[in-house]
């Protein structure tokens, strides 16, 4: 039986994610009817695909509805309530155990009574438990409705009910109840009531018969269905909460919670009285959405209006790229000094019973569509089509835009649009004036003081702070020269910090977390408009509930990394009684660990004192390091002080500024900010720069070097933030988006609260010893050494160990080439019996049972079937290498992976010599390069790459000069044009999106299994559970050790976890959730030998991936120069001359894989098992072998890693996923199209369509591609008209020869991967509104389209034509980020566009009708050029496109334009990427040259 | 670092040797030098590999990528500093090291290795010429005394290191000049002896004491040394040459290679030679043994004006260019043609020596027999059989260059009562300490005859061990 688990093994409930469908229906005029409730439930039911079900296929993750209090219905129940609004009511979940339930009731009653309230009635809410699934039933609460009366006006009573509920929560938390979660007040209000449970969308009405009662009426129905990554019975986490339904994820939640905790000490509210009663404001143990709801409710109860509170919590961006009023910018800036944003993708729908509205995060990462009818009904939902109306009845169709809000007042019957709402809140106070009067800008301050950058004892300090030669040469110099972080390649094969026998900086024990699946990372370059590093320091953050100009008495900094000069100013500001205090981060050398501990504690006390003395910020400094005083690791000092101040509720009153010689690389800065620092002055790094400039190592002046260095750090910070989908440093600060590896929980609990560590590790003693050891290198010798090369990036004899070293590389190459198993064993010896462990697996030995004879073990061919090669694109590696991998895998029965970048269709057929170069696995990465229907149907596995081990959360770029004819062809692009892979898949912003993409792919190719590639990090198991529920057939857990062709050095070294941890966590979580049986698990990450494979199998993997090792077999010598295209062995290059040096052969790989399989067989025989399947997940066969020779390693603890969940759930894949691709539209489309498919005779038909009909056309297109390849059928061979609202992915992968005409509207992802088909979207017949001013299709249309035509008579959402590489399209208005990353095709926009048009656009042309003359403001000019329509050819092309649009859609706007062509043609702007312009220009020149040549010839 | 693309456009360029006709007439160094620009271009070819196999292959662990980069950037001084961190005497290895690094260079996969050895020599010569290499005596002295017995490469490195650590070092050398085999075994045309003198001068300035013509255990009392030293280092090399006890070995004209080579070096140094002078002028010379020492005999014989020089080797002729049996990055067993071979020499393989033939006690010829090598299918061992074909090579002089057996036991070692390993070398633990407390050993005396660079690495390792021992 599944129970809500406590933390066990590697699983932690903290990692749970959810996402969902949300919606509301409102009668604007406020009439309460049952119809609205009914419609609300229908909305939910029509988004059933956005929720999820558990392993028993009956348990939903949660569904609920918020309505106005159904007064008549309550009266009908015989409860003598007073008039509407004068009593409160709500549902309460009670524990099933009677004695506990009684206790709870008693507690409730006593609190209500004490607060002067009267529990008027308790009603047993009728429920239909029979329909529940096993999992949800296991923890079904007893549900009662309570009715409470009390004195005072409705608002006062509402507040009293709130306070009483908070008291109940607090009392429950402090009680002795065994199952505290089971006592939960769903809502308690005078205005609104929530019904919810662990239900599917369809179960809600059946479970609560109340909801179907005709007298159950409301003017508002806000609904929510949940898709959670877990399947544990958590009734309380269903939504809506008290005010909010949230679809999305709060990435900064950890920080937000800490800050709120800290803030509690300064809050005051006359309205709420004794604040202590309300604390904690954020109920613990709940989801991110629940915390946000708590926060919103608190602000509203404290007197903020809903729009005001919402705008504080989830502010729009307010930099210069956002066209909002200055007043509103001031509002946001003022509030940003009070509170950090709750950052992350979000559709937030809210209601207090009178108002109902919604808002979107600043980046618009969740969809929300609305519709208003002529009879004053409004529907807002994640999708359009959740309610259908006759076309004539619709007054308006629109969508919530990024950062924008919409609200309805059911009392005044008014719709408030964003502008009006924001104007009102922005003008409530003179925020601009307040800011100007109080807020200082650092860049405007100057001083006459001389500030030095050099340090007299630099050499000693560099040793003491552990500067290595590589730090300087590989990181700092490139940063100072180029202004950006350096790039490296291949993976990280050096030991993690705790396994190294060299002293380490504390920074080295931390790893960056990153977003995968449950929320999208951001592209900080192309979507810079939402990013911000602005920092404020200095305010006595008083009571944020009270508007006060003094709040913004702060210093504003553009960059949180400050120069010595700026720092000097900051230190000496005395403006408005500013004051700071310096606290030395030092401890005496002689005292060792205890001195360090004492010093840190003392620092905390001093910090507390500083608050009491009224200082604005404290400066933690290690300037005083000398022979006797050692620097406390800056991270330890910052985090300790930060957490201490939070704990004593004094953190809000003071800011932490760090002056340290320790931080030098991006990761160091990110950590210091992530653990609470506001500003950092890296004086040591500056002194090094100064020295390098003086020694001419950096050929520029100091100022330039410094500027570049800071710029690199800042850019790097943005990258680190965006990896987690966080857009502002203000919300990143203190959010602790890190995990530790190899630190003891004792240290973490004391100084890094909230940080997880899975395998235990170092204590304060080790930290002190390392600090002292480095210090001594600098101060205990006469003449400190120059920084040494520690071999972190490149191998050095005396440096850090590397798993790939001369011995292992050469032995492997020799073994594979000679085909000698003995030589292979020599290689194995070098890997398995290394002198010193490098990986966690090196600590794991097998507990042999009864060995069997090797002849009894399954043959090698059964084992090689489980092998795959890593995703390496043709482009990143040479054709020779790519094909050798494919041939070898096809021979041994494994699978090779195309990587991102398509595959030449020639390779789909066998070669004359019988070998096959077809890659069995076709990867679908965020760039969607070469992802055509044909590509997808020629696969055995379709792999969605969510993240890559070497650079999780980041995109990539193939520079134009690398894109030659053939690469361009396979990627369906143009030679010479840069190809950018965005950090996120633009169709996966959440888990339900992933489910949709899996569904899409299953439709195109039902025979291929769909896999999802994740990267090991804390919480990956939970993500994997969500992925399993999203119906992936296989999940790949990739280790952070994985390779790359090019990635920022900091990502290779500091992001992600070793594969052992991620794999074990995934296995444990899937087993605990009962989901393991339905998916296969694959793993990779520096697997090298049979031992590694068997360890991975025992930890839970069924399949195994090899990439670096395979390349080494083919000749790679780990140059780590892939990114320079200079691979001297012809593996990772496209250069003809270098490719000639390639000596690899597929036979070598065949040898290698057979050796590996034999090696596995030997282990199996020794373990006493016949089949690899028999050992999958059997962690009890693994034994932790402690290594005694190292003080740090002795402290490791693998018990959580080796934990095996109890119970009888499957521990390996035993059954297939059930994909819902049987009862779908396409099945009938295919049968109707048989004549076309079989005989190419044209067919035509008309069909109805609903939003639940998803991915229509994909399966049909798959059938076409199977038969006819990319060429498809003749134009219009299949022509189909649909009527209604199309579900997501309408016309996805539509093949050539198919025309889809949609009369109605469409949801997100229309035309995804369009492969030659034609889509026409027009409003339904009879539509009264003007099509060009209403929205007709959703977000992210034509994502990765390679060809075809799309004509849309109306506006569309964000990211239209993202990564389009060949489709031609006309649309009448688009949202933000239109044409993002586009590499080809034509886009015509006959109307307004949103912001950031053409970001990252490297190919194709867009024409935009710029009637208001302000298009340039909305266009991202980084890569494109704007011009008028000057050339005749362009004029003609544009006119033809619009004419075609008119022909297909009868668009009135198109008609008007065509009729007034000469007038309109001048209003068009032509957007052309600079690179593309050059290509076109070159083509023209080439053509002219040819002509000239011919002319001369004739002459 | 470096120029990652240079290897694509710049070819390996060796400085090469002086023309044969010119060099054959003198004992000056045969190798030429490139100008600085070319040298920098050559250094730019280094790709700064992620896994620098050169660095791995080098027994000293020289950081090739780091100093190549500095040479490329014209930072010769820093280049020398990096080099000197790992290599005490780059002026020796830069001249005579067989450059294991270059064999393991990734560019050697396509036979275009970076000219690491030459670059090393250039860096060092430049450093000397610019006056960057000056005596740098230790600032403080530990008061501990160390005796180093034997002044070959291992002994010199140990002495140098220990002295820098502040210990008082005395080096004992049985010959009148310091340098061991560097001095006596390596012909001047490969290593000019002034190069050694230059270094010894520096070491003396830094405080190392050299006692020459002092054979410990014979002319100098071991007891005295032991009682006056806190530690003793044995670096006496592998003095016992492998002899060929065949019929006629006693004939006049049959010599060990080293007798011949050291005589030549002594006479070039203007020092008296012991015993009868050997001169190849106008003689037919047969060198037995195909290795480097043999090659040195060839070069020396030619310089003395030999009529004809033949070199024979018992093993088969190694393949030319590439040998799949010893793939990269291993040391390739391929045909090596030295500067001496170029100067004129008949080279033959698969020949074993049956007997020396003489007349009146004077050698006139050598009977040799052809052998063939086969792999025994049972054991996998490479075994030799005579084919039965024999031949007589006319020869007036024979030099036996067949390697060395072990260090001289008699005298010093036996007196010390150190234990030997199976091969008769001084047996030491991982810290180079012999079976006798406080007595350490390194170099060929421990490992058997090997490369100068290995001896140096061994000497360095011993110095660390001795230092740790003295600190206790």
Q: Which candidate from B49, B139, B327 shows the least CB-CB separation from A1119?
A: B49
**A604 labelled catalytic:** no
| Mean pLDDT score, A480-506 | 91
Give the separation between CA A1078 and CA A1102, rounded to whole angstroms.
13
- Cα–Cα nearest to A681, from A659, A699, A697, A662: A659
More confident residue, A840 or A9: A840
Q: Which of A20, A104, A1280, A1378 is catalytic?
A: A20
H-state helical runs in A364-445: 418-426, 431-438
pLDDT digit string, tens, across residues A805-842: 999 999 999 999 999 999 999 999 999 998 889 999 99
Whether the per-residue pLDDT at A225 is higher than 50: the answer is: yes
pLDDT digit string, tens, across residues A529-558: 889 999 988 866 678 898 988 888 889 999
DSSP A47: T
DSSP A387: S
Q: Which candidate from A473, A804, A1126 shows the least CB-CB separation from B51?
A: A804
pLDDT digit string, tens, across residues B357-372: 999 999 999 999 999 9
Whether the per-residue pLDDT at A1189 is higher than 80: the answer is: no
Residues of A in contact with B78 (CB under 8 A): none
Give the separation between CA B200 and CA A1452, rounded to whole angstroms.
97
Q: Do B5 and A1124 touch (CB under 8 A)?
A: yes
Residues of A in contact with B47 (CB under 8 A): 1119, 1121, 1126, 1128
Q: Do A1118 and B52 touch (CB under 8 A)?
A: no
Give the separation between CA A977 and CA A765, rounded to whole angstroms.
55
Instruction: Measure in Å the smallest separation between the Cα of B73 and chain A Cα atoms.
Output: 10
Whether the per-residue pLDDT at A1 is higher than 50: the answer is: no
What percentage of chain B reaches a pLDDT higher than 70?
100
pLDDT band at A49 (very low <50, low <70, confident <90, very high): confident
Q: Are strands A220-228 and A18-27 parallel, antiparallel or unpaired?
A: antiparallel
Whether the per-residue pLDDT at A212 is higher than 50: the answer is: yes
Q: Do A782 and B53 touch (CB under 8 A)?
A: no
Give the separation between CA B244 and CA B398, rounded to whole angstroms.
11
| Mean pLDDT score, A125-135 | 92
Q: Which residues contact A1045 (CB under 8 A, 6 or more apart)?
A: A489, A872, A876, A877, A1122, A1123, A1132
Q: Please give the pLDDT value at position A51.
A: 76
Residues of A in contact with B109 (CB under 8 A): 1117, 1128-1129, 1141, 1143
Q: Which candidate from B51, B107, B110 shows the least CB-CB separation from A805?
A: B51
Whether the per-residue pLDDT at A1499 is higher than 60: the answer is: no
Q: Please give the pLDDT value at position A280.
A: 93
Which residue of chain A is at minimal alpha-carbon distance from B104?
Answer: A806
Q: Please give the pLDDT value at position A1498.
A: 56
- Cα–Cα nearest to A1105, from A1086, A1079, A1078: A1086
Q: Please give the pLDDT value at position B368.
A: 97
- In sequence order, what DSSP letters do the residues of A350-365 get, joined into one string? EE-SSEEEEEE-TT--
pLDDT band at A1497 (very low <50, low <70, confident <90, very high): low
Give the separation between CA B396 and CA A502, rounded to whole angstroms.
62
Distances (CA, A) of B248 to A1383, B254, B359, B362, B363: 86, 9, 10, 9, 8
Whether the per-residue pLDDT at B345 is higher than 80: the answer is: yes
pLDDT digit string, tens, across residues A160-176: 999 999 999 999 999 98
Whether the per-residue pLDDT at A1188 is higher than 80: the answer is: no
Give the separation between CA A866 and CA A418, rounded to whole angstroms.
55
Whether the per-residue pLDDT at A4 is higher than 70: the answer is: no
Whether the per-residue pLDDT at A927 is higher than 60: the answer is: yes
Q: Which candidate from A814, A1124, A1135 shows the least CB-CB separation from B327?
A: A814
Q: Please give the pLDDT value at position A7.
A: 64
Give the separation between CA B209 and CA B223, rounded to whole angstroms.
19
Give the separation between CA A162 and CA A115, rounded to whole angstroms.
11
Q: Please give the pLDDT value at position B97.
A: 96
- Cα–Cα nearest to A314, from A294, A297, A332: A332
Q: Do A473 and B1 touch (CB under 8 A)?
A: yes
Q: Are strands A1468-1473 and B145-149 parallel, antiparallel or unpaired?
A: unpaired
Q: What is the pTM of this model?
A: 0.94
* Side-chain-facing half-sphere of A1068: CA atoms under 13 Å: 25
What percentage of chain A reaches a pLDDT higher than 70?
99
Maximum CA extent, chain B: 68
Give the separation between CA A348 and CA A360, rounded to whole angstroms.
6
Name every residue in A having a CB less than 8 A away from some CB of B.
469, 473, 490, 782, 789, 793-798, 802, 804-806, 809-810, 813-814, 817, 1117-1121, 1124, 1126, 1128-1129, 1135, 1137-1138, 1141, 1143
Residues of A in contact with B110 (CB under 8 A): 1128, 1141
Whether the per-residue pLDDT at A1496 is higher than 80: the answer is: no
Give chain B's length: 472
Q: Please give the pLDDT value at position A544.
A: 85
- Cα–Cα nearest to A1376, from A1386, A1385, A1389: A1389
| Mean pLDDT score, A59-76 | 94
Q: Please give the pLDDT value at position B418.
A: 95
pLDDT digit string, tens, across residues A1221-1243: 999 999 999 999 999 999 999 99
pLDDT digit string, tens, across residues B19-68: 999 999 999 999 999 999 999 999 999 999 999 999 999 999 999 999 99
Give the separation between CA A1422 and CA A1411, rounded to whole angstroms.
23
Q: Do A795 and B48 touch (CB under 8 A)?
A: no
pLDDT digit string, tens, across residues B225-258: 999 999 999 999 999 999 999 999 999 999 999 9
What mean pLDDT is reported for chain A?
Answer: 93
Q: Please give the pLDDT value at position A6.
A: 60
The SS3 assignment for A1106 reads strand
Q: A581, exposed or middle or buried, with CB in 10 Å at 0-12, 13-18, 19+?
A: middle
Q: Please give the pLDDT value at position A1431.
A: 93
More confident residue, A958 or A83: A83
ipTM over 0.85: yes
pLDDT digit string, tens, across residues A579-632: 899 999 999 999 999 999 999 999 999 999 999 998 888 999 999 999 999 999
Q: Which candidate from B55, B63, B106 shows the least CB-CB separation from A1117?
A: B106
């Amino acid at each position: 039986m599944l129970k809500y688990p406590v933390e066990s093994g590697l699983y932690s409930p903290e990692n749970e994610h959810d996402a969902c469908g949300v919606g509301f229906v409102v009668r604007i005029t406020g009439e309460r009817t049952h119809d609205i409730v009914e419609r609300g439930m229908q909305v939910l039911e029509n988004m059933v695909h956005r929720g999820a079900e558990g392993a028993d296929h009956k348990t939903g993750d949660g569904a609920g509805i918020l309505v106005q209090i159904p007064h008549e219905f309550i009266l009908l129940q015989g409860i003598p309530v007073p008039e509407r609004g004068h009593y409160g009511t709500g549902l309460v979940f009670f524990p099933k155990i009677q004695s506990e339930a009684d206790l709870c009731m008693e507690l409730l009653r006593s609190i209500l009574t004490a607060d002067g309230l009267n529990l008027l009635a308790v009603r047993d809410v009728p429920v239909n438990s029979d329909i529940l699934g096993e999992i949800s039933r296991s923890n079904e609460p007893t549900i009662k409705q309570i009715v409470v009366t009390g004195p005072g006006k409705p608002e006062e009573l509402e507040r009293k009910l709130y306070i009483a509920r908070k008291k109940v929560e607090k009392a429950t938390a402090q009680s002795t109840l065994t199952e505290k979660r089971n006592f939960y007040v769903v809502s308690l209000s005078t205005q609104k009531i929530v019904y919810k449970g662990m239900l599917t969308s369809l179960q809600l009405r059946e479970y609560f018969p109340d909801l179907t009662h005709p007298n159950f009426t409301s003017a508002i129905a806000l609904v929510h269905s949940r898709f959670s990554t877990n399947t544990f019975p958590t009734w309380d986490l269903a939504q809506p909460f008290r005010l909010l339904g949230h679809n999305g994820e709060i990435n900064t939640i950890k920080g937000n919670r800490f800050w709120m905790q800290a803030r509690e000490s300064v809050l005051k509210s006359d309205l709420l009285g004794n604040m202590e009663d309300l604390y904690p404001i954020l109920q613990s143990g709940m989801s991110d959405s629940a915390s946000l709801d708590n926060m919103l409710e608190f602000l509203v109860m404290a007197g903020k209006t809903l729009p005001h509170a919402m705008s504080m919590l989830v502010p729009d961006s307010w930099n210069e790229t956002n066209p909002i009023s200055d007043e509103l910018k001031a509002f946001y800036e003022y509030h940003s000094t009070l509170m950090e944003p709750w950052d992350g993708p979000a559709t937030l729908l809210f209601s207090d019973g009178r108002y109902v509205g919604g808002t979107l995060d600043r980046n618009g990462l969740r969809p929300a569509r609305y519709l208003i009818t002529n009879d004053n009904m409004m529907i807002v939902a994640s999708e359009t089509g959740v309610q259908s109306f006759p076309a004539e009845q619709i007054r308006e169709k629109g969508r919530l835009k990024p950062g924008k809000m919409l609200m309805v007042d059911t009392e005044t019957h008014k719709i408030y649009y964003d502008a009006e709402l924001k104007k009102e809140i922005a003008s409530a106070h003179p925020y601009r004036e307040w800011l100007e009067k109080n807020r200082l800008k650092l860049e405007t301050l100057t001083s006459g003081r001389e500030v030095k950058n050099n340090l007299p004892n630099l050499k000693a300090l560099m040793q003491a702070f552990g500067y290595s030669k590589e730090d300087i040469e590989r990181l700092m110099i490139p940063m100072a020269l180029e202004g950006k972080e350096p790039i490296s390649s291949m993976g990280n094969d050096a030991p993690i910090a705790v396994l190294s026998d060299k002293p380490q900086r504390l920074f080295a024990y931390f790893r960056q977390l990153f977003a995968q699946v449950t929320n999208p990372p951001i592209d900080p370059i192309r979507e810079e408009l939402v990013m911000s590093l602005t920092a404020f320091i200095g305010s006595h953050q008083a009571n944020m509930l009270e508007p006060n100009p003094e709040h913004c008495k702060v210093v504003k900094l553009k960059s949180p990394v400050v120069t010595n000069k700026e720092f000097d100013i900051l230190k000496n500001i005395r403006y408005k009684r500013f004051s700071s205090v310096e606290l030395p981060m030092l401890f005496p050398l002689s005292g060792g660990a205890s001195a360090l501990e004492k010093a840190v504690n003392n620092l905390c006390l001093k910090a507390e004192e500083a608050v009491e003395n009224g200082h604005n910020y404290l400066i933690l400094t290690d300037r005083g390091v000398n022979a006797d005083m050692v620097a406390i690791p800056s991270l330890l000092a910052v985090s300790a002080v930060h957490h201490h101040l939070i704990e004593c509720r004094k953190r809000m009153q003071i800011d932490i500024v760090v002056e340290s010689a320790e931080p030098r690389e991006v990761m160091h800065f990110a950590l210091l900010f992530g653990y609470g620092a506001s500003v950092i002055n890296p004086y040591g790094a500056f002194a090094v720069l100064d020295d390098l400039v003086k020694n001419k190592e950096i050929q520029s002046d100091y100022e330039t070097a410094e500027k570049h260095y800071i710029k690199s750090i800042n850019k790097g910070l943005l990258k680190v933030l965006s990896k987690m989908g966080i857009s502002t440093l203000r919300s990143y600060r203190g959010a602790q988006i890190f995990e530790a590896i190899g630190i003891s929980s004792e240290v973490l609990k004391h100084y890094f609260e909230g940080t997880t560590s899975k395998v235990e590790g170092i204590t304060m003693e080790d930290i002190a010893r390392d600090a002292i050891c480095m210090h001594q290198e600098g101060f205990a010798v006469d003449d400190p050494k120059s920084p040494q090369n520690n071999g972190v990036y490149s191998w050095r004899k005396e440096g850090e160990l590397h798993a790939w070293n001369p011995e292992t590389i050469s032995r492997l190459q020799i073994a594979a080439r000679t085909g000698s198993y003995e030589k292979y064993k020599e290689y194995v010896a070098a890997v398995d019996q290394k002198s010193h462990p490098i990986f966690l697996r090196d600590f794991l030995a097998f507990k042999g049972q009864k060995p069997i004879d090797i002849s009894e073990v399954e043959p090698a061919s059964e084992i090689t079937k489980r092998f795959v090669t890593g995703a390496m694109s043709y482009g990143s590696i040479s054709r020779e290498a790519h094909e050798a991998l494919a041939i070898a895998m096809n021979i041994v029965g494994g699978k090779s992976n195309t990587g991102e970048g398509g595959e030449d269709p020639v390779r789909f057929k066998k070669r004359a010599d019988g070998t096959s170069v077809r890659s069995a696995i076709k990867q679908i990465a965020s760039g969607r390069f070469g992802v055509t229907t044909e590509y997808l149907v020629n696969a055995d596995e379709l792999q969605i790459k969510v993240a890559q081990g070497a650079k999780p959360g980041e995109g990539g770029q193939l520079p134009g000069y690398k894109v030659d004819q053939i690469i361009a062809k396979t990627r369906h692009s143009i030679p010479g044009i840069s190809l950018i892979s965005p950090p996120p898949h633009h169709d996966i912003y959440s888990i339900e999106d992933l489910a949709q993409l899996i569904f899409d792919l299953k439709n195109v190719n039902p025979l291929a299994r769909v896999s999802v590639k994740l990267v090991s990090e804390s919480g990956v198991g939970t993500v994997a559970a969500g992925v399993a529920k999203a119906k992936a057939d296989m999940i790949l857990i990739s280790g952070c050790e994985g390779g790359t062709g090019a990635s920022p050095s900091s990502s290779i070294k500091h992001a992600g976890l070793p594969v052992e941890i991620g794999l074990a966590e995934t296995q444990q979580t899937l087993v605990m959730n009962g989901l393991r049986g339905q998916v296969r698990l694959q793993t990779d990450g520096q697997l090298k030998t049979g031992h590694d494979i068997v360890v991975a199998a025992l930890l839970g993997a069924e399949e195994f991936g090899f990439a670096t090792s395979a390349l080494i077999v083919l000749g790679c010598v780990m140059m780590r120069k892939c990114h320079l295209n200079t691979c001297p062995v012809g593996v990772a290059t496209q250069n003809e001359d270098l490719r000639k040096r390639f000596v690899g052969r597929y036979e070598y790989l065949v040898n290698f894989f057979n050796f590996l399989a034999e090696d596995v067989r030997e282990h199996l025989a020794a373990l006493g098992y016949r089949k690899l399947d028999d050992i999958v997940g059997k962690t009890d066969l693994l034994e932790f072998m402690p290594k005694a020779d190292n003080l740090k390693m002795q402290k490791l603890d693998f018990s959580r890693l080796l934990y095996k969940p109890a119970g009888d759930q499957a521990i390996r894949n035993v059954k297939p996923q059930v994909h819902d691709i049987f009862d779908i539209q396409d099945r009938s489309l295919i049968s109707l199209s048989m004549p076309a498919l079989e005989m190419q005779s044209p067919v035509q038909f008309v069909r109805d369509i609903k939003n639940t009909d998803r991915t229509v056309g994909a399966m049909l297109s798959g059938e076409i591609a199977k038969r006819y390849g990319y060429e498809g059928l003749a134009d219009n061979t299949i022509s189909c008209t649909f009527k209604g609202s199309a579900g997501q992915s309408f016309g996805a992968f539509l093949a050539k020869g198919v025309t889809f005409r949609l009369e109605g509207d469409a949801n997100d992802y229309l035309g995804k991967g369009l492969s030659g088909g034609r889509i026409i979207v027009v409003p339904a017949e009879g539509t009264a509104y003007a099509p060009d001013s209403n929205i007709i299709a959703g977000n992210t249309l034509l994502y990765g389209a390679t060809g075809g035509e799309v004509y849309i008579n109306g506006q569309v959402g964000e990211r239209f034509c993202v990564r389009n590489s060949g489709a031609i399209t006309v649309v009448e208005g688009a949202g933000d980020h239109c044409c993002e990353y586009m590499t080809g095709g034509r886009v015509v926009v006959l109307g307004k566009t949103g912001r950031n048009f053409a970001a990252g656009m490297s190919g194709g042309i867009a024409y935009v009708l710029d009637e208001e003359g302000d298009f340039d403001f909305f266009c991202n000019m980084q890569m494109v050029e704007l011009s008028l329509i000057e050339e005749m050819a362009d004029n003609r092309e544009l006119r033809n496109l619009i004419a075609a649009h008119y022909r297909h859609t009868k668009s009135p706007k198109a008609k008007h334009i065509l009729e007034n062509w000469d007038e309109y043609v001048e209003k068009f702007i032509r957007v052309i990427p600079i690179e593309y312009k050059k290509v076109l220009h070159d083509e023209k020149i080439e053509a002219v040259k040819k002509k000239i040549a011919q002319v001369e010839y004739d002459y | 670092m470096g120029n990652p693309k240079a290897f694509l456009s710049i070819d390996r360029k060796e400085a090469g040797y002086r023309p044969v006709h010119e060099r054959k007439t003198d004992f000056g160094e045969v190798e030429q030098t490139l100008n600085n620009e070319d040298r920098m271009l050559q250094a730019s070819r280094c790709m700064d590999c992620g896994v620098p196999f050169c660095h791995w292959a080098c027994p000293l662990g020289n950081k090739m990528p780091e100093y190549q980069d500095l040479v490329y950037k014209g930072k010769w001084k820093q280049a020398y500093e990096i080099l000197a961190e790992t290599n005490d005497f780059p002026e020796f290895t830069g001249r005579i090291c067989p450059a294991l690094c270059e064999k393991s260079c990734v560019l050697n996969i396509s036979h275009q290795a970076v000219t690491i050895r030459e670059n090393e020599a250039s860096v060092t010569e430049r450093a000397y010429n610019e006056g960057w290499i000056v005596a740098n005596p230790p600032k403080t002295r530990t008061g501990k005394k160390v005796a180093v017995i034997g002044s070959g490469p291992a002994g010199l490195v140990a002495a140098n290191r220990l002295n820098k650590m502040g210990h008082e070092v005395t080096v004992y050398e049985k010959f009148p000049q310091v340098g061991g085999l560097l001095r006596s075994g390596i012909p001047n045309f490969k290593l000019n002896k002034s190069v050694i003198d230059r270094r010894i001068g520096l070491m003396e300035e830094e405080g190392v004491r050299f006692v020459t013509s002092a054979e410990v255990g014979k002319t100098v009392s071991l007891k005295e040394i032991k009682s006056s030293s806190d530690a003793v280092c044995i670096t006496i090399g592998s003095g016992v040459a492998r002899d060929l006890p065949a019929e006629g070995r006693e004939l006049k004209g049959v010599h060990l290679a080293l007798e011949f080579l050291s005589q030549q070096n002594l006479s070039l140094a203007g020092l008296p030679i012991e015993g009868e002078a050997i001169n190849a002028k106008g003689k037919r010379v047969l060198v037995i043994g195909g290795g480097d020492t043999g090659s040195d005999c060839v070069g020396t014989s030619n310089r003395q004006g030999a009529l004809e020089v033949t070199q024979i080797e018992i093993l088969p002729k190694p393949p030319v260019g590439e040998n799949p049996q010893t793939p990269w990055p291993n040391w390739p067993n391929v045909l090596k043609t030295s500067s001496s071979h170029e100067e004129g020499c008949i080279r033959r393989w698969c020949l074993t020596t049956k007997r020396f033939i003489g007349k009146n006690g004077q050698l006139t010829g050598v009977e040799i027999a052809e052998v063939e090598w086969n792999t025994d299918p049972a054991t996998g061992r490479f075994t030799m059989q005579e084919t039965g074909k024999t031949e007589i090579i006319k020869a007036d002089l024979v030099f036996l260059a067949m390697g060395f057996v072990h260090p001289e036991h008699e005298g010093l070692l036996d007196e010390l009562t150190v234990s030997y390993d199976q091969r008769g070398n001084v047996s030491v633990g991982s810290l180079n300490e012999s079976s006798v407390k406080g007595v350490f050993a390194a170099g060929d005396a421990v490992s058997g005859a090997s490369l100068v660079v290995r001896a140096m690495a061994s000497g360095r390792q011993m110095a660390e061990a001795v230092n740790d021992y003295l600190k206790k």
